[in-house]
Structure 1
Amino acid sequence: MDPFDEASHAFLAWLRNTGAEVSNKIELKDLRNMQAGRGVVATQDIHEDEVLFRIPRSALLTVDNSILASEIPKATFDHLGPWLSLILVMLYEHVNGNTSNWAPYFNILPSELNTLMFWEADELAELQGSMVLQKIGRASADEQFTRELVPVIREFAGVFFSGDERAQEKAEQMGDAQHLMLMHKMASLIMAYAFDVEPANSSKIADEDGYVSEDEDAALPKGMVPMADMLNADADRNNALLFYEEDFLSMKATVPIKAGNEIFNDYGPLPRSDLLRRYGYVTDNYAQYDVVELSFDLVSALATQHNIFEQARLEYLDEQGVVDTGYDICASDPYTIQESMSPELIVLLETLLLPADEFEHLARKGKLPKPEKMGAKAAEMLLQLVKARTAQYATTLEEDVGSASDVNMEGEESLKERRFAMARAVRIGEKELLRKAELALEQFIRDKNTDSGANKRQAFEEEDRPGKKQRS
C-alpha cells in the first residue's frame, strides 16, 4: 500500500478507536493530483442533515486534553493565552513522536506548508502593494516565541522531554532557528486547521443565521478537530457544517450530496489575500470577498496636504469610534459606493472638511455626518486616496492582466510558478476593486456637479421669472 494511503488508513483506525463514528458513505481520498492533499469524498448519496462523522470531545487536540495540562501550572497557560498555549501543546505532542496520543493524526497533517510564512523573499515581492504582507509578522512571531514559549519549555524541560536524559540540553536548543521554524509550523497548522471550540454548555447567543459576535468568537479556545480539518473549503460548493454537541462534534451535510462529489466546508467571507496567508492557496470562488485597505497613514498624509488635518477633530472622531488603522474597500455586486466604501472613512473625510462652526455644532450634539450624504468634496478626496493607493503597487492592472499566464493550480507547474500566479491573482483582484472604486467615484462626482449646476440654473431662472420680487 502507498505510504500516503497507509497513513490515512492508520488515522481512520485510530479515530474510530477514540470513539468517533465515521459514516460508511464517505472516504478519505488522495487528492494530491489536484494540489489538494487529502479530501473527503462521498461514496454513496448523502441526505441533507445526515451525519458524516462524530468526533468525541476527548479526541480533540486541545490544551485541556493534553498531558501538559496536568503537568504545567494553569497559571502558565493563562499567561500564554489560548494561541500560544495550543502552540506549546502541539510542540509537545510533535516532539514526543509515536508516544503521543495523537501520533496517527500528526502523521496525516502536511509536512510542508504553502502559507506566506514559508514563502521566499522573491515570492513575497510579488505581493508588493498588498497589505497582506504586513499581516505575516514572522519577525514579531519569532520574538514572541523566544520571549514566551522558550522560557516555559526550559523551565519544564523534564516534562516536555519526559524520560530523556538530554531534556535540559534539548530545551536550551529550542531557541535556535530550526526550532523557531518548527514553532512557526505548529502555528501555521493551527491557523489553517484549528477550530474555535465551543464549550459543551455554551452560553453564547447566536443571531438568526447562527453566527455569534467576533468578540465572543475571539474568546473561544482553539482546538484541532481530527477529520473535520480534512475537508477542503469552497465558498460556493460548501455542503457540510460542524455542529457542537455536549459530548461530540458532528459534521453534517447541509444539502444532499451525490456519490463521487467532494465534501466541502467553508472558511467564511475571507478575501483571497487572507486565503493565501492562512491556507496557502487562492481560488476565484473567494473573489467575492476581496478587500483593499486604505491605511490611516495614507489618509492623514492627504489631509495634511490639503491643510485639513486637525488634531481636535481626530480626537473627537476617535471618541466616536471612527478612527482606525485602516479602512476597507470591499467587493460588491453590483458595485456601489454605499456597499463597498468604508462608511467610517467617508465620515472621517466629511468631518475634516466641515467649516469650523458646523463641526462645533455637531460636536456639541455628539453627532457625526451621515455617510450616505457624502458630498462632492469628500468624494474628490476619496478619489485621490484611491489613486494614491493604486500607485503603491509596483505594476499596473493592465500589466498584471497582460502577463497572466495559464498556470494550472492543479497541474504540474513548479511551486514557484504557482506562487507567482497566486500572488498575481491577489494583485489583480485588489487592483480591480480600486479601478471600480475610481470609476464609481468619478461618476459620483460628475453627477454631483451636474445636480449642482442644474440647481443653480433653476435658482437663476426663478430669480429672473416675471412678477418675482427682485433682491435689492
Structure 2
Amino acid sequence: MMAFNPKEFLEWFQQAGGWYNEEYLGLKPFPGMGYGATALQDIPEDVPLFHIPDSLILSPYTSELSKYLTAEEWERVDRGWNKIILVMIRESGRGDESPWSGYLSNMPTEFDTPMMWNDEERKELIGTDIEDRIGKEDAEKEYKENLLPIIQAHPELFPPSSPHHTLDSFHIQGSRILSRSFTVPASRFNASPKPADGGDDESDFSDDEDEEGEETVVMIPFADMLNAAYQRDNANLFTDEKTKEKGGQWDKRGFTMKSTKPIGKDEQIYNTYASPPNSELLRKYGHVDVLSIPTEQVELLSEEEIGDWPFGNPGDEILIDGKVIIESIEAVLGKKRGDEEKWQAKVSKRVDWWLEEGLDDMFPLTLSPGFDDEFIAFIRLLLYDSEWLRAKKKGKLPTTTIDKDVASVIVHAVQIRLSKYTGDLKSDLEVIKSISADHIPRPTTSTALLEQSNADDVKKVDPSALRRCYAAVVRLGEKRILQVALRNAEKYLPQKRKAEDGST
C-alpha cells in the first residue's frame, strides 16, 4: 500500500489549477481517521482555505471515458454509482496520463468500513442499522453483470494485466466513493435537461452518497480530505465563490472551502454535514466517535445501561422501519383487524398516501424523552380509521397524541428491534472495555495533543478486535436508545399491562 504523500498531493493540486491557503492550512494524520486538515495558526471566521475549479472535479462528465463507449454501453452503467466507479477504474489505470493522477495515487487503498470486514466480523453488526446497508453482495452483482462485460469488451481502455480492474479494485473505488464523495447538480456539467444558469449563488450541496433527481455523485479533490465528527464542523464548501484572495487568484467556476467559525492553531478542520450517528460514521468512514454523553442524556439511562461507561455519540439514532410498525399494529389489533385481504388493502392505501405526501417511512429514535411527531402520526394513520378519513379529507397529518394503543405499538416495535441483536448490554460493555480507551477514536480538538499521545499504539491493536469494539459501540448506543424509548412508551400503558409485558 502506498502511503499518502502530502507534498506530492499538494504539488499536483496546485499544478492542476487548484489553490490552497498555505498560511493557514496543513495536512496531518489522525489516529483512526487517516489524514485530515489542521490549522497552522489561528484562523478567523470566513477565511477561504482552498478552491477547486470545476475542471478538477472527477465525474462521469469531466472524464472522457464516455467518448470511447457506445451509447448502449454508457446507458448500461447508468445506475447507482456504476458510472463514477467505472470512470475511477479507468482513470486509475491510466496512471500519470490521467489528469487526476496525483489525486488517485494518493487516495486510500485500505478501509475499515464494514464493506471490507470478513463474514465473522460483519456478524457483530446483526440487529444494527448498518446490517442491511452494507450491500456487498449486491455491489458484486452489479460489477459482474454490468461493469465487467464493458471492461472485458475494451482491453484498449482496461488492459487485462492492470490491477485496477479487478473485483477488489471495484470495492476500493466503491469505498472511496462511500467515504469521500459529494453530490452536485448534474446541470453543473450541462448534463441535465435543465440548462446551467452560470450564476454566482450557492447551489444545494451535500456529501450524501445517494443520487436523487438531477444530482450526480462526484469526487472533489482536497474537499474530501476534511474529516467528519459529531458537532465539530468549522468549515463548509461553498459554490462559485468569486472572491480573489492573496495567493488565490481564481476566477473560474468551482468550489471554495471556507472557515465557518474561528479555528484555533493545531485544531483539526472538519467539514461535517449534520451530526452523524456512530452507525453512519462506521458504515461510511470506518470509525466511531466516543465522547462524554451530556448530563441530560445520562439521566435518561439506568445504571445497567451506563455501566460505568458514560460515553458514546450524543447524535446516535436508530431507525424504525415502517414495516416493523405495521407488524406491531397487526399484533396489537389482533382479531380486530378483520379480514386479512381487506386489512392489507387498507394499509397499502394509507402508506401510499403517506409517501405521496413526501414523507418518509423510516422513523428515527434518539436518546431523548420524547418521540418524533411523524412517528406518532404514522402509527395513528394506520391504527385509526377516523384519523385516516380526516387526513384524506383535509390533507393534514394525524394528531400526535400518545394513548395506550399507540404506546402498545411503540413497545412492540421496540421489542422487535431489541430481539434482533446478539448479546446484551453487559456483553457489549465488556467488549468495549477490553480495548484501551486510547485506541478508540475520540474527536480531539488539538493536533498538538495528538502528537503528545502514544498514537503509534493504535497501529498495534488487532484490527479484528478493534472492529468488534466499534460494532459494540454502535450496538450499545442503539440499545440505550431503544431501552429509553421502551420506558417512555410504557408510561402510557395501564399498570396491569406493564406487568403482563414483564416490565417494571
Classify the TM-score, shorter chain: 0.7 to 0.9
State the match for 2:393 in structure 1. Answer: 365
Deviations along 1:368-404, one digit per CA (max 9) or x if unpaired, are 7724123211211221221222122122224323543
Deviations along 1:182-234, one digit per CA (max 9) or x if unpaired, are 111111101111111345486699x999779x999653122111111111112
Q: Per-residue deviation at 1:155?
A: 3.0
Q: Distance in 1 between matches of 2:394 and 2:313?
A: 38
Output aligned runs, 1:187-226, within 5 Å.
Answer: 187-198=174-185, 199-200=187-188, 219-226=214-221
Q: 1:395 aligns with which of 407, 410, 423?
A: 423
Answer with 1 or 2: which has the greater Rg: 1
Q: 2:234 aligns with which of 219, 236, 239?
A: 239
Q: Per-residue deviation at 1:125?
A: 1.2
Q: 2:347 aligns with which of 314, 324, 334?
A: 314
Deviations along 1:147-194, one digit per CA (max 9) or x if unpaired, are 111122233332x13xxxxx4x559x99xxx81221111111011111
Q: 2:315 aligns with which of 283, 286, 289?
A: 289
SS of equivalent residue, structure 2 residue 130:
helix
1:431 maps to 2:479:
yes
Deviations along 1:238-265, one digit per CA (max 9) or x if unpaired, are 1110111161211101011122211111
Contact 1:51–1:251 (8 Å) recurs in 2: yes
State the match for 2:278 in structure 1. Answer: 272
1:386 maps to 2:414:
yes
Contact 2:431–2:469 (8 Å) recurs in 1: no
State the match for 2:41 in structure 1. Answer: 44
Deviations along 1:325-364, one digit per CA (max 9) or x if unpaired, are 96323215x421246x72354224523xx5xxx5786587
SS of equivalent residue, structure 1 residue 47:
coil
State the match for 2:500 in structure 1. Answer: none
More helix per residue: 1 or 2? 1
Aligned residues: 425
Q: 1:322 to 1:64 in 2, by over 3 A?
A: closer
The worse-fitting range, judged by mean Cα deviation, of 282-291 and 389-398 is 282-291
TM-score by length of 1: 0.80
Any unmatched runs of 5+ in structure 2?
Answer: 189-194, 241-251, 292-311, 442-457, 498-504
State the match for 1:80 in structure 2. Answer: 77
State the match for 1:13 in structure 2. Answer: 11
SS of equivalent residue, structure 1 residue 31:
strand
State the match for 1:53 in structure 2. Answer: 50
Q: Distance in 2 between matches of 1:43 and 1:370?
A: 53
Q: 1:62 to 1:368 in 2, by over 3 A?
A: closer
Aligned-residue CA RMSD (Å): 3.5
Deviations along 1:56-90, one digit per CA (max 9) or x if unpaired, are 11111112221313323456434423621100000
Q: 1:9 to 1:31 in 2, by over 3 A?
A: same
1:132 maps to 2:130:
yes
The residue type paired with residue 141 of structure 2 is: E
The residue type paired with residue 352 of structure 2 is: E
Deviations along 1:401-444, one digit per CA (max 9) or x if unpaired, are 35431432253422112111110011011101111111101113
Q: Distance in 2 between matches of 1:367 and 1:222?
A: 35
Q: 1:61 to 1:366 in 2, by over 3 A?
A: same
State the match for 2:452 in structure 1. Answer: none
The residue type paired with residue 462 of structure 2 is: S
State the match for 1:327 in structure 2. Answer: 362
SS of equivalent residue, structure 2 residue 270:
strand
Deviations along 1:1-38, one digit per CA (max 9) or x if unpaired, are xx847x22111111101121111224443315x23221
TM-score by length of 2: 0.75
